[in-house]
Structure formats: structure tokens, C-alpha cells
Structure 1
């Protein structure tokens, strides 16, 4: 019975550890979870200093003398903080990091989760339209691993039919 109890504790720890959020507990306690990009964009000075956690897809990155600025398209996140819904967005925001981030790694189309404090806004152009970006000073930044592109061979089942095929039709058909 004692072995079962230890096995259950270890298994539960591994299971729950795999579902942990990528942002530290201290930052998560400080964060305003209900504060959306679209809301901050309307009045960024009102929310200055508030801690938020936003996830999204990197659109561009720019290295400057004082650090790196990432332009990010906000996307809704799952329980771990990973962007999960690619069909809707609350808008764009800028993440200002004091560190040098290699833009070959923090490249367009990579997924990130950013925890930071609202530092105001910056107006840039998106095409011909002026756009006001909320700006975050990064406290924590998580770059999600790239998921491999899966290409399926359209003729796979012609050469290797599913196992049930043999039982249903038998050999030789």
C-alpha cells in the first residue's frame, strides 16, 4: 500500500507539473488577468504600472541600443499561457526588453508569452493606418518551441493500408 501511495504522489506531481504555467507564481499573483489588450489600448496611461500577462505571435523584432522591442499580435492563451486560438485577437502590442534578444530566434511567427508592466503607448503605422500600441516593459518572456510541420504522404494508405483492412477484407483482395 505504501508503494502505491508513493507512486500516486509521484505520478500526480509529474502530471500537474506538465500543466504548469510558464510565468512564475510571483508575477502571476501580481497580474491583472482580466485586463485585455483592447482595453489598455483605449487608455494606456490609466493602466500604467499594472502587471499583465499576454500571449501572441511575434510580428517583428527590432534591436536597439537599450534592448529589443517585439511587435506582437495578441492571441488568447490556454492554461499554460500558450497562444491557442489563432482566429481572434485583441490587437497588437509592443514588448520592450532591456536584454538583447536575437531576432533570428525571436523571429516572426514564433509564439511567445509575455509578463510585463504597462509602460504607456507608442503610435506606429500598420500599412497606411496609424495604430496605437500598448507598450509592456518585460518582466518575463517565454519563447515557445517551434512545432514541426507535419506533411502527410497522400499515397501512404495505398502502400500501407490500415490494420483493420486486412481483417475486414482478408489477404489478397
Structure 2
């Protein structure tokens, strides 16, 4: 047992900071995406590999393949989305070619977050409502869909009421316990 424990701790330590995408892609790709320069000279950046995160706006399946429209979110060196920079004005398109698979729009729906390793292809003109918008288009090399974050409020402790005594509907300090036979179960702090 003494020999196994250090090995298990080492494996746990090494796997705790694993990158989201393949290690070779993380090393070859750049997390600093020069969107402004891409729009000026797209041919200069064509074929470069970038690691970028995003919040999905919509997913469509076209003749080319599955196309994700997302709002850009910067990523760190391991591909994790940066928490403090989730408000961005930049949108991008990520294309998974038809011969490489299919992205179900119900799974890759609005609000989900992704990390994409993609090669820059071109600037494609699109529309946001009635306004023309130049979308940078990336061809997906690898894609990671993040789990949905669901807020669950913490449960109330069974030993305490969910509010302090001064929020009680009864006048302090003597509640009308004779009105309700279950009062002592809803207000356990009065009879402990």
C-alpha cells in the first residue's frame, strides 16, 4: 500500500492540469487571435492554427458542413475559457466539413460554450439582423463542448429555519405556537 499511494497521488496531480484539446494542437496553435489584422490582410493569416473559445449563438448544417456562429471568449494556455473575459463584441464562424462529421444543432445550441482548435480560412460576410458583419471563418481541427453550468441553490439545513428569527411572521419573542400544530417542526430553533 505504501508503494501504491505515491503513484496514485502522482497520477492525480499530473492529470489535474490536463489541456482540453490534444497537446500537439495546444503547442502548435496560438491563443492570441489577431481579429483586427485578419480583417485587413486575411491572406497573411490563412492556414494558421488558433485556439479560441466561444459561446454559441447558433449552429446550422449547410452544404459545406456544420457551421457554428459564436461570440469569442479568450482561452488560457490549456484551452480553458477565461472566466473574467466572457463579454466580447467579436463573433466568429467555425466550420466542421461534411466529410469529418455532423454537429447536432440541438446539442450545440445557443448558450453552450466551446473550445475550438481551428485553421483560419477566410473572412466571410454575414448579417447580424440588418447589419453586414465580417465573420472570421475557422475550419475545425478539434472541438471541445463544455458541460452546461446549472445553478443549484444550496439546500437548507434540516437543523435551522431558512430565515432568521426576526423575519418570523409571529411577533418576537413569543410565537403563537398554539395556532399551528406543526409550528415547532418549521421553527426548530424555538424548542431546542
TM-score by length of 2: 0.72
Shift, 1:152, TM fit: 5.3
Q: Equivalent of 2:115, from 108, 113, 116?
A: 113
Shift, 1:24, TM fit: 0.5
Aligned-partner SS, 2:42: coil
Residue number in structure 2 paired with 1:61: 59
In the alignment, the residues of structure 1 paired with residue 58 and residue 42 of structure 2 have an alpha-carbon distance, to the nearest angstrom, of: 21
Residue number in structure 2 paired with 1:14: 12
Whether the 8 Å CA contact 1:38–1:91 is kept in 2: the answer is no
> Which structure has the larger Rg?
2
Whether the 8 Å CA contact 2:53–2:73 is kept in 1: the answer is yes
Residue number in structure 1 paired with 2:47: 49
Whether the 8 Å CA contact 1:114–1:141 is kept in 2: the answer is yes
Shift, 1:127, TM fit: 2.2
Whether the 8 Å CA contact 2:31–2:75 is kept in 1: the answer is no
Shift, 1:39, TM fit: 4.1
Distance change in 2, residues 1:12/1:79 (3 Å) = farther
TM-score by length of 1: 0.79
Aligned-partner SS, 1:46: helix
Residue number in structure 2 paired with 1:92: 91
In the alignment, the residues of structure 2 paired with residue 11 and residue 171 of structure 1 have an alpha-carbon distance, to the nearest angstrom, of: 47
Aligned-partner SS, 2:11: helix
Unmatched 5+ residue regions in structure 2?
163-188
Distance change in 2, residues 1:132/1:31 (3 Å) = same
Greater CA drift, 70-79 or 128-137: 70-79
Taking only aligned residues, the RMSD between alpha carbons, in angstroms, comes to 2.7
